[in-house]
């Protein structure tokens, strides 16, 4: 069964302007694609077969995308499709919640560093802040995350390093942020990757995968 994602619709619009599209009957439309179609006033027509002059049916993310009930759909979604839709939306909500918690913890750390006049560390966290703002904006607008502010490649891996309380509150709190970033990284893969390993948010996953090591690298600056 084919799936239509928001990315597929945007790709169609880059090739030509559309007021309507034809899809094979039974094609699954993701929630973000459905919202984007309504926003652009694009009508969806379901047909039994598509002739050679129409847009090729999408093939991206065919295993995990949810079903959306629209007025044009004749067949009722199966229980399995409805559960997929529910769990995908729930996973995204959990990710947004964890992202908000991490961002608030980061802001607490920024206040602490400002009080201690740690300008270098403040600058490092400002980079993280801008990336998080870009991620939140992309999720709010249902767009693909693209940020000009990304973390540099870091060769050394600090995940096995041990931190103790006598290293001071700044070091310990940075390690706390890094642990929360590890959790956010894992959750991002669970949220934005399908069973085949494909993702519509490659830049987002790349940025969050580097975040824990980036934060622990800042600890050495301290």
DSSP class of residue 53 equals T
- Cβ burial, residue 58 (10 Å; 0-12/13-18/19+): buried
How far is the C-alpha of 65 from the C-alpha of 21, rounded, in Å? 19
pLDDT given at position 63:
39
Per-residue pLDDT tens, the chain, 222 aa: give them: 577 788 788 888 777 777 888 888 878 888 787 888 888 888 888 887 655 444 444 443 443 444 444 445 455 555 454 555 666 778 888 888 999 999 999 999 999 899 988 888 888 899 889 889 888 888 888 888 876 556 665 555 545 567 677 888 888 888 889 899 999 988 888 888 877 778 888 888 888 888 888 888 887 765
| Helix (H) or strand (E) segment spanning residue 46 | strand 43-47
pLDDT of residue 54: 44
Which among 37, 29, 34, 32 is positioned nearest to 2, based on CA atoms? Answer: 29
pLDDT at 56: 46
Provide the pLDDT for residue 152: 60
pLDDT of residue 57: 45
Element housing 90 (H / E) = helix 79-116
Domains of the chain: 3-77 (no CATH), 80-221 (1.20.1200)
Would you call 199 helix, strand, or coil by DSSP?
A: strand
Residue 46, both tokens: 């379901």
CA nearest neighbour of 10 among 177, 111, 190, 142: 142
């Amino acid at each position: 069964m084919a799936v239509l994602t928001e990315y597929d619709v945007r790709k169609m619009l880059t090739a030509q302007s559309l007021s309507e599209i034809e899809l094979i009957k039974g094609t699954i439309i993701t929630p973000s694609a459905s919202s984007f179609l309504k926003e652009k006033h694009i009508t969806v027509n379901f047909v039994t077969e598509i002739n050679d002059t129409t847009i090729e049916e999408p093939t991206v993310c065919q295993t995990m995308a949810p079903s959306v009930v629209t007025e044009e759909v004749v067949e009722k979604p199966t229980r399995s499709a409805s559960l997929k839709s529910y769990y995908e939306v729930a996973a995204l909500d959990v990710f947004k919640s964890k992202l908000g918690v991490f961002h608030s913890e980061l802001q607490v750390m920024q206040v602490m560093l400002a009080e201690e006049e740690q300008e270098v560390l403040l600058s490092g966290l400002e980079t993280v802040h801008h990336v998080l703002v870009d991620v939140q904006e992309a999720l709010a607008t249902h767009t693909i995350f693209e940020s000009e502010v990304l973390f540099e490649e870091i060769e050394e891996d600090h995940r096995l390093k041990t931190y103790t309380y006598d290293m001071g509150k700044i070091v310990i709190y940075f390690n706390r942020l890094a642990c929360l970033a590890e959790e956010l990284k894992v959750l991002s893969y669970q949220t934005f990757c399908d069973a085949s390993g494909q993702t519509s948010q490659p830049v987002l996953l790349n940025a969050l995968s580097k975040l824990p090591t980036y934060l622990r690298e800042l600890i050495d600056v301290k």
